[in-house]
Structure 1
Amino acid sequence: MAAHLLPPLNRNLTALTAEAKAKLFTRTVNLVALRVPATVCNKALQVLPPHLLDIPRLRSIVNDESSSKTRLVLLNPTITSDAIPEKVKEFIDANNAEIVDMYPLKLDYDYWTADQILRSIIPDELNIPSSFELIGHIAHMNLRKEYLPYKKIVGEVILDKNQYIRTVVNKTDSIDHTFRFFKMELLAGDDDLLAELKESNCKFKFDFSKVYWNSCLQTEHDRIVSQFFAKNDTVCDVMAGVGPFALPAAKNRGCTVFANDLNPESFKWLSENVVGNKLGHLVRAYNMDGRDFITKSLVDLNNAVITDEMKAKAPPPPAPRSRDGKKKHADGATKDATVDSEQKKAVVAEPKTEVASGPTKIKIFNHYVMNLPATALEFLDAFRGLFYEREAEVPAQSLPIIHVHCFSNVIDDLEGDVWRRAETFLGCDIPQENIIKIHRVRDVAPKKEMLCISFRLPAEAAYAKPVSRAEKRKIDEVDE
């Protein structure tokens, strides 16, 4: 876009007041216009397109303040009154049009885009920091240090230019690996970090300042749920957060899910989201250490009292339908049966990867999900001896599938790096036939990628004699 159609330069501006918006970001462009009868406007649009004003979000025909019977046809900024193109002259003569010189087209702060406003402020050597993650009404930015002098004005512009945003925050520190949340500061808008949103046919609510949430991972959540989980599977979500895997697995696939998170705030909102989505009969929430939960959840899955408690929370069955497709009520009345639009969006594709297993004599989880990329691999030692002396009850072909998310910065062999590290923490080889998929999720930083390794628990680890934590510490000390 030509310079005269961009906002004035306001380099190094750090405060964006109402007065600054009005004075510093207004530009008037003088155009040549044609005053024409209102009845010939359509003809102007047909005959004059190459010569009309063609700027995004601006109309080429506007009202004429001098008369309700005429309109002003705005011409291209390159056209001057002493150099009217022949095609325009022909139109003027044929339609009793009048040339209006110096029509003042006013462009102000409200007209410019966020990128245009920020480009007028941020030095040319820096890129425009206008990207953000959207969490409900919250825009979450991750500004590098070179942008920090402009952070408040960046937040204000993002707030102004996105009507669905009410709060803009900036990440100020790395993620807390124990409870998985970012430290952040308010840049603009309401100091309200209670987010509400929909993902994968489920409603989520949580305090974004106290839990981990990443909207960029929705595709990964849907991938695991749709490709691996089958109807009525049992799933153990070891690092569940507020439920982005657990709730869709239950609601969209009918899985029974035992979900855990060490962060008390994550557990709080996970529990509330289970209730809010009416999934108490399918999802049970825990607040435990991940290793303890892997053992505890298997015991609880075989506890009839617990499973009966969950079944008791099942919602009542839907009302029967009459022959005309309308729901019957107790009083005999009927009403039109409609399909909830959100249900239509549910992930219902059949699993694309063969992960079927045989029968077992005790209840076991078909899948374990471990979505804590920084440290999840380290928890694989908890699976050693999980089925010790239970080979007859849980045959090798029925052992669960484990999905572990992790990071790798190995350039040449990402998949091999993840495979080898998984074997190290599991304490045994993972045979080729046990590997189901090693999936590259996304780049998280230069030379750092997030992956997910999905594999069937090897018999060598599953049936091994358990090692207590105290014994393991002694072994680790010897190795060191």
Structure 2
Amino acid sequence: MLEALRVACYTLTHNRWYFGVRASLDFILLTSQPCLEYTPRKLIHLHKHLLCTERTEDFIDLKQYFKFSSSLRSLRKNMDVSLLLPPASVKGMTDLNQELFQKKIVVPHVIVKNSKINSALKCLKKHLLKIDKLKPVRSDDSDPDKRVVLLNPLLVRSLEDIEEDFGNICNEGDATFLSKEITLSYENWKAEDILKAVLPDNQEGAQSYSIIGHILHLNLREHMFPYKALIGQVFLDKIPNISLVVNKTNNIDSTYRNFQMEVLAGAGDTLVTVKENGCTYSLDFAKVYWNPRLSTEHERIVKKLKQGDVLYDVMAGIGPFAIPAGRRKCLVWANDLNPVSYDALVKNCATNKVKDRVKCYNLDGHEFIKSVLKSDLLEKWQDSDFCNDIHITMNLPAIAVEFLSAFVGLYHNVEGIPHNPTLPMVHVYMFTSDVAEDIALGMVAEHLGYPCYVEQMLHKGDEPLKEHTMAGDEQVENNTEQSSKTKSQNSFGGLRQYVQEVVNIRKVAPNKIMMRVSVRLPLEVLLKDADTIEEPPCKKIKEL
């Protein structure tokens, strides 16, 4: 381990070793090899710490890892990490040929009497050769009273490597240490090992995928297209319970939230049943939107709801917000423009026994807000017995923020509004180019009629001076680059006081971040005269 770390120093005062946290490539490769089946938990912890730390001035106490240093040093010196990986000759293969994955290797093994096999396995557990569909313990063809135990050649090169644990059994003559040749084949490697061996080096591959029922969904980059048939077949062969592998061929349609796909391998329809957060959903994956990677976010929002709360789900899809909310005994108004999503929503409400608490609509989002939501919210405000919270979810990241303008002036000149009504909490999703809060908040501010600049234009003579901008022009970009990654103090004309949180949901693609802004809908926005709303200040300022 001393040889695998770049910086080391010894402090006599504290009588401990401290190591710089920047690891060499040797150490990273060593501890991350998939063929190293046995890795001590403490070593895994250390590896994660090293990968997550970038500053060389950070130090960690590695005294607890000393007992692994000897074996690591020996392993690094002697191992060929490619030994248990697919043959290098398959690199660049576009048509899958399983026969070309055959590889002969020499592995150490011990022959043990049946009477001693349990003791032997206890001693050799961490040294066993563990590869898919390869039994490390097998009968000895030449002697039925003995067993052959295959050992990992990366961990064991000679009897000395196991003598400390296994020496007593060998000394008693109950075991023999030998080497033998075995043949590995396509069936012995995982999908990730095969794809890493085949696909081009130093390029983003096809390791990321989603599983929806019996469908495995990929979103391959263009440079992977020549290998897409092979990629599909490998996943079909290696991932259990999968009968269809598809690849997205275009962006998600903003109207109905579905996309075109191509079949890479397998056969069958796209009707699936999935489970998420205790609910069951049936859907046609080719016609509606479903992303299992959003399950945590769905749960995060639902946990904000209490029994008796109200949820207006403007872009409900098949119900990942609406149905769990109904199960929490909330009152839900769920809407989706896609007729196929609407049908699935109605069916899923019945399946999960919440149809008496979830009302479903098939309307445009603007129309839903200006009719159904407007009418029911006013009733809630006028009900003196209603004392629960009100939430609005708008999960259509491509355009959801644009629907915020439907709330501007929604109750202008409407009678019967109480003096201090319960303001709805809006959870609106969007795509941004950066994780900076100002970008997401600026988008919300613009569509609610607030200024996108905290400081208005300041004039010194005839030259305008720009203080802070939402997106950042070249003139101020360098000054705000460092602060753009932190929480902003920009007020956006007073909107910030209503903001509960800004959350980075996930990175969809380079320069494409899915964000959520949770904000109380200001009463001044709802009562504003929509006919007098001027062009958003951010646009006007850019023209000056």
The answer to whether the superposition gives a TM-score over 0.5 is yes
Query: 1:158, CA displacement in angstroms?
Result: 1.1
Query: 1:466, CA displacement in angstroms?
Result: 5.1
- Confirm or deny that 1:195 pairs with 2:272: yes
Distance 1:112 1:434, change over 3 A: same
What does 1:17-416 align with in structure 2 at a 5 Å threshold?
20-21=97-98, 23-46=99-122, 53-57=128-132, 58-75=134-151, 77=153, 85=160, 87=163, 91-92=169-170, 94-97=172-175, 102=180, 104-227=181-304, 229-251=305-327, 253-298=328-373, 301=376, 360=383, 366-390=390-414, 392-410=416-434, 414-416=436-438
Secondary structure at the residue paired with 1:250? Answer: helix
The one-letter code matched in structure 1 to 2:300 is R
Q: Distance in 1 between matches of 2:339 and 2:168?
A: 76
Deviation readout 1:169-191 (Å, 9 max, x if unpaired): 11111111111112111111123
Secondary structure at the residue paired with 1:140? Answer: strand
Q: Distance in 2 between matches of 1:472 and 1:66?
A: 91
> What's 1:10 paired with?
90
Aligned residue among 496, 513, 517 for 1:449: 513
Query: 1:35, CA displacement in angstroms?
Result: 3.3
Secondary structure at the residue paired with 1:149? Answer: helix
Query: 1:79, CA displacement in angstroms?
Result: 10
Q: Which has the higher mean CA deviation after the structures are superposed, 66-75 or 368-377? A: 66-75
The one-letter code matched in structure 2 to 1:423 is A
Secondary structure at the residue paired with 1:41? Answer: helix
> What's 2:497 paired with?
433
The one-letter code matched in structure 1 to 2:409 is G
Q: Distance in 2 between matches of 1:111 and 1:130?
A: 18
Q: Distance in 2 between matches of 1:285 and 1:226?
A: 21
The one-letter code matched in structure 2 to 1:193 is T
The answer to whether the Cα contact below 8 Å between 2:370 and 2:410 also exists between their aligned partners in 1 is: yes
Distance 1:35 1:379, change over 3 A: closer
Q: Distance in 1 between matches of 2:353 and 2:124?
A: 60
Query: 1:407, CA displacement in angstroms?
Result: 1.8
Deviation readout 1:425-454 (Å, 9 max, x if unpaired): 122455333222222222222233222112
The one-letter code matched in structure 2 to 1:169 is V
Q: Distance in 2 between matches of 1:76 and 1:378?
A: 59
Query: 1:4, CA displacement in angstroms?
Result: 3.1
Q: Distance in 2 between matches of 1:107 and 1:383?
A: 64
Distance 1:27 1:424, change over 3 A: same
> What's 2:490 paired with?
none
Distance 1:462 1:303, change over 3 A: closer
- Aligned alpha-carbon RMSD (Å): 3.4
Deviation readout 1:179-225 (Å, 9 max, x if unpaired): 11121111111232112111111111111111111111111111111
Secondary structure at the residue paired with 2:286? Answer: coil
Query: 1:365, CA displacement in angstroms?
Result: 8.2
Deviation readout 1:254-309 (Å, 9 max, x if unpaired): 111111111111111111111111111011111111111112213664899xxxxx
Query: 1:392, CA displacement in angstroms?
Result: 4.5
Secondary structure at the residue paired with 1:395? Answer: coil
Distance 1:26 1:286, change over 3 A: same
Query: 1:60, CA displacement in angstroms?
Result: 4.0
The answer to whether the Cα contact below 8 Å between 1:238 and 1:261 also exists between their aligned partners in 2 is: yes
The one-letter code matched in structure 1 to 2:370 is T
The answer to whether the Cα contact below 8 Å between 1:250 and 1:256 also exists between their aligned partners in 2 is: yes
The one-letter code matched in structure 1 to 2:443 is R
Query: 1:160, CA displacement in angstroms?
Result: 1.1
Q: Distance in 2 between matches of 1:31 and 1:157?
A: 27
Secondary structure at the residue paired with 1:3? Answer: coil
Secondary structure at the residue paired with 2:504? Answer: strand
Q: Distance in 2 between matches of 1:146 and 1:187?
A: 16
Deviation readout 1:378-405 (Å, 9 max, x if unpaired): 1112112322344643334412221111
Q: Distance in 1 between matches of 2:535 and 2:201?
A: 58
Query: 1:96, CA displacement in angstroms?
Result: 4.7
Distance 1:276 1:101, change over 3 A: closer
Q: Distance in 2 between matches of 1:190 and 1:89?
A: 54
Q: Distance in 2 between matches of 1:268 and 1:358?
A: 31
Higher relative contact order (CA 8 A, sep 6+): 1
Q: Distance in 1 between matches of 2:448 and 2:149?
A: 74
Q: Distance in 1 between matches of 2:392 and 2:124?
A: 65
The one-letter code matched in structure 2 to 1:95 is G
Q: Distance in 2 between matches of 1:437 and 1:75?
A: 53
Q: Distance in 2 between matches of 1:80 and 1:302?
A: 71
The answer to whether the Cα contact below 8 Å between 1:362 and 1:394 also exists between their aligned partners in 2 is: no
Deviation readout 1:76-101 (Å, 9 max, x if unpaired): 547999x7549478744522545665
